Every structure is written in C-alpha cells, then in structure tokens.
Amino acid sequence: MKWNWQRKDWPHFTYDKKALVNLEAQFLQHSGMLIGSFEHLNQVDKNELTITLIADEAEKTSKIEGEYLDRDSLQSSIQKQFGLKTGNRKVPPAEEGISQLMIDLYRSFKKPLTHKYLFSWHEMLTKGRIDLKDVGRYRTHVDPMQVVSGSVYKPKVHFEAPPSKMVKKEMTHFIRWFNQAPREGFLSLVRAGIAHFYFVSIHPFEDGNGRIARALSLKSLYQYLDKPVLIALSHRIEQKKKDYYNALEQANRLNEITPWLVYFAEIIIDAQRYTQKNIKFLVDKTKFYDRLRGQINDRQKKVFARMFQEGLEGFKGGLSAENYMTITKTSASTATRDLQDLVTKRALNQTGHRKHTRYWLNFCHNK
C-alpha cells in the first residue's frame, strides 16, 4: 500500500472547505477575545501569562514525544531570555534548547521560512544531544525513516517517510508552499493544519520532527493574526495524545485530508478556550490577593504562591494539612490553625473530614 508521498497527487492536498468554515469563524472569534483579554491585563500579569504559556508549550510539546523536562528550569530559561530576574539556576541543555526555540518562534514569527531557519531550530532543539548524527541539517542515513511501535521482532509500521536522498528537494517545495500560502487565500486553520501534516510527512530530521511541526503550526497562526497570540496547543494535544497519533496515521496514505484538518482545527479552538481560562485564572488571582491584602501571614502567603504555581489544575486532590506543613516547615497545630483561619476568611473551601480533609482556592468570593 502506498504512502501519501508516493501518490501522483502529492503534495496537492485536497479537503472540503465547507467542513472548515464554521471552525474558522470560531477561531477568529476566540482570537479576538484572547487579544482583548490579554490587552486588559497589567504588565506584571502579561509577563506571567506569557512565560507560563511558553513554558507550558515547551514542556508539553516535549512530553508528547516522551521527553519529560523540568518546568522550573524551563521557566527560568524563558525569564532570562526576556531579561527578567531569575537567580543563578543552572538550566540543563534540553530545557534551554526548547526554550530558545519557543522564544525564537515568539519573536521571529514574521520571518519567512528558510532551510537555515529550520536548521537553527533543530540545533536549539537537540542541544546537548550526542546520540544524533545529523544535527542542524536534514537526515542523511540510508535506512528508511519509519514511525514504528511494538516489539523488535514484530514491529508495526505506522508510517514511512521519503528516503533521505529526497528530503532536500521535498523541503524546498515545502518552504516555498509555506511562504506562498498567505497569498493564496488559505483559511488560517487550513494552512496551520497542512503545515503540520506536510512537514511530518516529509519527516526531514533525524529527530524532533513533531516538535518542529507543532511550532510551524503556531508560526502559521501567528502570521495570520499578525501577532503571537499564545495558545496551549501542545497542552491540549498531550491530554489526548492517542487521538493525535491516530488522526495522523489515518491521514498518511491519502492526500484528501479533511478529517485531519477538522481534528486539528478543533484542537486549536480547544487550546484557545484553555488559554482564555488561564487569563481568567490570572485575573481571579489578582482579585484574590487584593481581597486578602493585610489579612494573611507569611506562611499563608508562601502556600498560596505554591498553589498558584500549579496553575489551573491546582494540587492534584487538593491541598492537605501535610502539604501545608511541608511547604511552610511548620507544626501540625500551626498548620491547622492557619488553614482554619483561611477557611473562616473564605480564602479556602474545605472538603472531607479528618485525614481526608482537603482545601481548595475560593475565587467565588472575589465577585
């Protein structure tokens, strides 16, 4: 059975535009809301949101590929590149590299795509790697570039990319298409979806293709909107990673890609909704601290800072008295007294009893 790049119509992707029109309208509506919401934040909150979302994208795009990075190191690296104070934390090469790529994407999204541009991204992404032969250049190995699963004795081939000798030519066509697409009237979601799919179908690098493909999708969206409107794309993909790989696999034998484009468009819109929730979370956080100003002690402030650091999801299973004691290095009796004080002040909601008692941030009282 042929792969998509082996067919006569490659790389002329077709799709049902009618299936994307409503999704495009939703994307543009959400984009306007995000831009408006972001502009209403103060500068401190803008910086915090930008760093949080870039770090989250860096962490989750790596996690999709099975690479688990340290979030604090990612945030430290991103803060440093924005010229903010970070202390003297030493950042490992992997965290520094993906952070550099994400910052470059954020700052240089308007630049046209070139081979050199992609090579620089690959060098950033593979910083510290000594196991790769081809760093900062397209793959050169003669073995087939395959996406496989299963055992060594009975592997399942999900996809086989063009041989290395074809990559330079294919990438020249891809780069020309990417740079010309804005002038050819593509819907924003269509261009972003094709950019991702087209790139991973070529699979030009020895490693890092998925991460670069997702970055190219974001670059495409930023160019369409003429600003880097940060959305939690990789966060939403990672939540349902199996669906993502299934959608790619189901699309890689034909060049009619409507199902893939619909799937990817829905992921982008879901990512926009998640980002909007992050903005609301920041606004609620500001109101929360304003309401409690002068009413909480240093231990309580330290615990709230740690809780807010967890973001929207918060502590898994809620804050316990044991958590409080660990964070503040205090006794059980002091922890109990502090927590009950916060419940009385309606800063925390309490659920459960005795050892199952848990505490949750109470934003409702902000209103």
CATH, range 295-366: 1.10.10.10
Architecture of the domain defined by 4-280: Orthogonal Bundle (1.10)
Q: What is the mean pLDDT of each run of 10 residues along the chain (367 residues)?
A: 92 98 98 94 91 95 96 92 80 96 97 98 97 97 90 86 98 98 93 98 98 98 96 96 96 97 98 95 92 96 93 86 96 96 96 92 79
pLDDT of residue 366: 67
CB 121 within 8 A of CB 106: no
Give exposure, 292-319, as e/b (b: 16+ Cβ within 10 Å): beeebeebbebbbebbbeeeeeebeebb
Q: 349 has which bridge partners?
A: 360
Tell me where in the chain the CATH 1.10.10.10 domain(s) lie. 295-366
Counting beta carbons within 10 angstroms of the beta carbon of residue 119, is it exposed (0 to 12), middle (13 to 18) or buried (19 or more)?
Answer: middle
Tell me where in the chain the CATH 1.10.3290.10 domain(s) lie. 4-280
pLDDT of residue 367: 58
Alpha carbons 299 and 287: distance in angstroms, whole number: 20
